[in-house]
Amino acid sequence: MKITLLLAFLIVFSSAMAQSHDKVTLSGTATHEKIDHIFINEPLLFYTQEPKNLLTCYTQNNQLKGAFGINKPQFVYLSIMLRNWQVYVMPGDTIRFTIDGAGLDAKIKFFGKHAANYQVFANITDFTGGPQKPPRYIISKELRHNKNNLLNYKITLDKWYKDKNEQLESLLKLYPISKSLTHIARSKIGYYYANSLYSPVSDMAADSVPKEYLNELKKIGFNDDRLLSANEYKYAVYNRYVRFKEIEGTVNLKEIEKKIKSELKGKSKDYAIASLIGACAQRKIPIDDSALSSMIRSAYTEVKDPSYLAYIRESELNYFLLNKPLTDKVLDGTLLTTYSNGMKKSLREVLAVYPGKAVYIDLWASWCGACRVDIAESADAKKWMTENGVAVVYFSLDKDKAAWMKVTVSDKIENDQYLVENEFSSELSKFMGITSIPRYLLIDKNHFVKSIFAPRPLESDLTQLKSLVKIF
């Protein structure tokens, strides 16, 4: 598999997906003194990803005001301490609200043009993730083989499902919303019920689950691409086709892939395939490299959604490149000139200068204006990294050695400074898919690859950089 081509595709898709965003305005009041801020987060597209923060808004005189950008109608989470509310917003919306109380007792009330959209889905969040969610099923795997334990749990869950459906219908009369959103609202409760059924048996094979319980799981339908905006539906797809095994023993990736393709269609099928690849890449499913490589090759020709393809490529990189050492070809075949003494060294020899240290590599050149701007503004980030055991190293991709040496002095970056031989054609550049700069790489203290697109050394990216460094 050619990682260079993979990286090139990833860069192209990332650029293609960048779109203009319309502003959504937030204007609310929090009556309780303990609420000092609110987070606006984007729901996860896939469950192995980190949540994306759209806005952090702090209270001023009990007021919460701010704005964030979206490019299409979507769900977002409004989060305060111990509470989350999911709401459906549209580009250009103004979300007006009041929060009374704090913690689990907090209640939210919306006002304005699309208040019904917000209120219905915020209440559903109370049903599924707040104080009205069903009781969790916590019991040992051995006891779950007693069918009465599982079936009694199902009785409790059935009662919750019936009650919440009735409450939702009353809510929809009070807050009428469009037919399409009504379908999503009803389905969110239905698929939360499905996920609650899957939860206690997710680590069991189908042949170990009581038939009465399994029959209920089989009734759950999929293939509704309209619901891919709803986390509950996506997680149900993940539970059914990625987590849940048909039989005990070794996972047969080809059989899982075959089952997905025979039972699902459209974007739901593509989502399940991408989710399966992501779970494999995170080692949540034990498989061999060849089986995963074969499925990824197939996915590249069949999956159409750009965000799913980007996730597949990200997962492939995580599995085959990240958290692994650089190859011997890269370590020994990449030659660098040391600024301090003019000596040539292999990349292996350069990294040996920093034993037991993480290494942040700044790829730059004298002719790269953006690189030099980043360097000029990197003092705080460099100071933090140095104090926390991370060596900051400069790899220039200059062709002109004299220009490299001159700017190295003028920009005051003489320490830990190297010139990469063959610039963009070096073994390191080819391995990492380096086609443009500035670019940053992060290698952990064992000199395993940690990030091939590390955060920039700027104040705006410092929080993300600190988070990445802390994980090793």
At residue 356's C-alpha, the angle toward residues 353 and 359, to 5°, is 65
Residues 363, 395 contacting (CB under 8 angstroms) = yes
User: What's the burial of 387, exposed, middle or buried (CB within 10 Å: 0-12/13-18/19+)?
Assistant: exposed
Distances (CA, A) of 407 to 295, 370, 372, 392, 437: 47, 14, 9, 17, 16
Cα separation, 10 vs 312, in Å, equals 10
Pairing of strands 22-30, 63-70: antiparallel
Amino acid at site 310:
A
Q: Which residues pair with 442 in a beta bridge?
A: 360, 451
Cα separation, 111 vs 109, in Å, equals 7
Nearest to 87 by CA among 19, 191, 185, 167: 185
Residues 272, 266 contacting (CB under 8 angstroms) = no
Concatenating the DSSP letter of every residue in 44-102 gives: PSSTTSPPEEEEEEE-BTTEEEEEEEESS-EEEEEEETTEEEEEEE-TT-EEEEEEES-
Query: Domain boundaries in the chain?
Result: 3-129, 328-470
User: What's the burial of 149, exposed, middle or buried (CB within 10 Å: 0-12/13-18/19+)?
Assistant: middle
Residues 390, 469 contacting (CB under 8 angstroms) = yes
Residues 461, 397 contacting (CB under 8 angstroms) = no
List the structure tokens of 245. Answer: 């095994």
Cα separation, 244 vs 198, in Å, equals 8
pLDDT in tens, 70-121: 999 999 999 987 789 999 999 999 999 999 998 888 999 999 999 999 999 9
Q: Which long-range contacts (CB under 8 A, 24 or more apart) does 175-183 make?
A: 175/115, 175/116, 175/119, 175/120, 176/116, 177/116, 177/117, 177/120, 180/226, 181/88, 181/117, 181/120, 183/226, 183/227
Nearest to 44 by CA among 236, 231, 308: 231
Q: Which helix (H) or strand (E) holds 394?
A: strand 390-396
Residues 201, 144 contacting (CB under 8 angstroms) = yes
Q: Which CATH class is domain 3-129?
A: mainly beta
Provide the whole-model pTM: 0.70
Q: Is the dihedral of CA 50, 55, 59, 63 positive or negative?
A: negative
Residues 360, 347 contacting (CB under 8 angstroms) = no
User: What's the burial of 176, exposed, middle or buried (CB within 10 Å: 0-12/13-18/19+)?
Assistant: exposed
Walk along the chain (472 residues) and give the pLDDT tens digit of each residue. Answer: 445 455 554 444 444 443 446 899 999 999 998 898 899 999 989 987 767 889 988 999 999 999 999 999 999 999 987 789 999 999 999 999 999 998 888 999 999 999 999 999 999 999 988 778 887 665 555 555 667 888 888 899 999 999 999 999 999 999 999 999 999 999 999 999 999 988 888 767 777 788 888 888 888 888 999 999 999 999 999 999 988 776 655 678 888 999 999 999 999 999 999 999 988 887 666 677 788 889 999 999 999 999 999 899 888 877 878 888 999 999 999 999 999 999 999 999 999 999 999 999 999 999 998 899 899 989 999 999 999 999 999 999 999 999 999 999 999 999 999 999 999 999 999 888 788 899 999 999 999 998 888 888 987 788 778 878 876 5
C-alpha of 279 from chain center? 12
Cα separation, 119 vs 280, in Å, equals 38
Q: Which CATH class is domain 328-470?
A: alpha beta
SS (H, E, C) 279-332: HHHCCCCCCCHHHHHHHHHHHHHHCCCHHHHHHHHHHHHHHHCCCCECCHHHHH
pLDDT in tens, 332-370: 999 999 999 999 999 999 999 999 999 999 999 999 988
Cα separation, 297 vs 300, in Å, equals 5
Largest CA distance in the chain: 79
At residue 272's C-alpha, the angle toward residues 289 and 126, to 5°, is 130
Nearest to 32 by CA among 108, 97, 107, 102: 102
Cα radius of gyration (the chain): 26
